[in-house]
Amino acid sequence: MKKIKDNLFSHLREFFTIFLTKQAQRSPHTILATKQVWNMLLSFVCDATGKRVESLTFADLSRENVINFLDKMQQTKGWTPSTRNHRLARIRAFFRYVASIEPTLVFYLEDLRGIPMQKDVNKSFMLEYMSKDAITTVLRQPDPSKKMGIRDLFFLVLMYDSAARDCEMLSMRFCDFDPVGKVVYLLGKGFEKSSEYIKSRNIP
Domains of the chain: 8-113 (1.10.150), 132-202 (1.10.443.10)
Say whether pTM exceeds 0.85.
no
Per-residue pLDDT of the chain (204 residues; tens, 9 = 90+): 334 457 999 999 999 999 999 898 888 888 988 999 999 999 999 999 999 999 999 999 999 999 999 999 999 999 999 999 999 999 999 999 999 999 999 999 999 999 999 987 666 666 667 788 888 898 899 998 999 999 888 888 888 888 787 778 877 787 887 877 778 877 766 556 676 666 645 555
Dist. CA 95–CA 142, nearest whole Å: 43
pLDDT of 99: 93
pLDDT of 27: 82
Are β-strands 177-178 and 193-197 bridged in parallel, bridged antiparallel, or unpaired? unpaired
* Phi, psi at 116, each rounded to 5°: -75, 150
| CA neighbor of 89 nearest in space, from 69, 108, 61, 115 | 115
Dist. CA 117–CA 10, nearest whole Å: 28
Q: How many CB atoms lie within 10 A of CB 34?
A: 20
pLDDT of 1: 36
Burial environment of residue 161 by CB neighbours within 10 A (0 to 12, 13 to 18, 19 or more): middle
